[in-house]
């Protein structure tokens, strides 16, 4: 059901694509938006089994992986799709495979070697990932009930983008790790699940609010802030108000929009 009051920003769970000239397709988080992204990619090399994608998960809560079974490029032989993340005790492979259990999911299990694309799963340890000229760094920014959360930084030697979609600043270690990821970033995509007024009553639930996102952006000298991972009940008007309250010439602030495109200016 499309509610008129959420039409502009949308309510799909988190999924972003990062496009870099000459690079493979990069995706961060596999919320339900991944289904729509997959359909768009079918018009490109993924439709003919020649696509290559790398999908990085911030964590494995359902809202960040539930689009994976519905990412159609996974069903097409010849595509190569690499999934990366950290799932702590259970391991990424098991967490993602469990979601394919036929009790929950009608889609053929593309983790089976005989079905669909070449699928690789990597549990992220400590080393950054290098993909051509791109460097993908990550850091653990806390855990919730034993489930680790990662933030990412994608850079090409010129521009940098930081992606921190789920974080709660309960200690200095988390703050420091997030600040390092966002350091001097051209764009910081940051959790703003709660409003500033809601946050004090929601502490310990693993999310942050716009004021904390702004503090991190300012402390890290990020150039631009995109508030992200909105509460699904937040209306378009309420999101406009959150961003307008923080927006300034020194540090532009917007809310992430469904299918929004955000270009980084070349340095």
Kindly list the residues in this chain that would bind Zn ion in the complex (CB under 5 A): 61, 166
- As measured in angstroms, the least distance from the Cβ of 61 to Zn ion is 3
- As measured in angstroms, the least distance from the Cβ of 28 to Zn ion is 14
- As measured in angstroms, the least distance from the Cβ of 229 to Zn ion is 9
- As measured in angstroms, the least distance from the Cβ of 59 to Zn ion is 6
What are the DSSP calls for 198-263, one per residue? TGGGSTTSS---HHHHHHHHHHTT-S-EEEES--TT--HHHHHHHHHHH--SSS-EEE--TT---P
Of 206 and 210, nearer to Zn ion (C-beta) is 206
Q: 178 in helix, strand or coil?
A: helix
- As measured in angstroms, the least distance from the Cβ of 184 to Zn ion is 27
What are the DSSP calls for 119-152, one per residue? EEEEE--SS-EEETTEEEEEEEEEEETTEEEEEE
- As measured in angstroms, the least distance from the Cβ of 89 to Zn ion is 16
Kindly state the DSSP code that residue 73 receives in the 8-state scheme. G
Of 61 and 230, nearer to Zn ion (C-beta) is 61
User: What residue is closest to Zn ion based on CB?
Assistant: 61
Of 61 and 153, nearer to Zn ion (C-beta) is 61
Of 92 and 166, nearer to Zn ion (C-beta) is 166
Of 31 and 51, nearer to Zn ion (C-beta) is 31
């Amino acid at each position: 059901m499309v509610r008129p009051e959420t039409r502009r920003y949308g309510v799909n769970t988190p999924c972003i694509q990062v496009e870099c000239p000459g690079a493979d397709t990069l995706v961060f988080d596999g919320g339900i938006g991944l289904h729509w992204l997959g359909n768009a990619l079918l018009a490109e090399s993924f439709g003919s089994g020649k696509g290559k994608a790398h999908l990085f998960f911030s964590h494995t809560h359902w809202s960040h992986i539930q689009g994976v079974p519905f990412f159609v490029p996974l069903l097409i032989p010849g595509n190569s799709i690499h999934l990366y993340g950290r799932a702590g005790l259970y391991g990424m492979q098991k967490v993602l495979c469990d979601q394919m259990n036929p009790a929950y999911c009608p889609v053929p299990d593309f983790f089976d070697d005989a079905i669909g694309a070449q699928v690789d799963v990597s549990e992220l340890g400590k080393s950054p990932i290098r993909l051509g000229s791109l460097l993908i760094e990550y850091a653990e920014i806390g855990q919730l009930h034993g489930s680790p959360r990662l933030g990412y930084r994608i850079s090409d030697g010129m521009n940098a983008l930081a992606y921190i979609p789920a974080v709660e600043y309960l200690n200095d270690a988390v703050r420091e790790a997030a600040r390092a990821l966002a350091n001097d970033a051209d764009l910081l995509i940051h959790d703003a699940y709660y409003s500033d007024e809601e946050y004090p009553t929601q502490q310990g639930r693993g999310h942050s609010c716009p004021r904390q996102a702004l503090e991190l952006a300012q402390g890290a000298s990020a150039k631009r802030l995109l508030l992200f991972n909105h509460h699904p009940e937040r209306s378009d008007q309420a999101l406009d108000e959150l961003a307008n309250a923080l927006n300034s010439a020194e540090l532009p602030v917007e809310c992430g929009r469904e299918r929004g495109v955000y270009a980084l200016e070349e340095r």
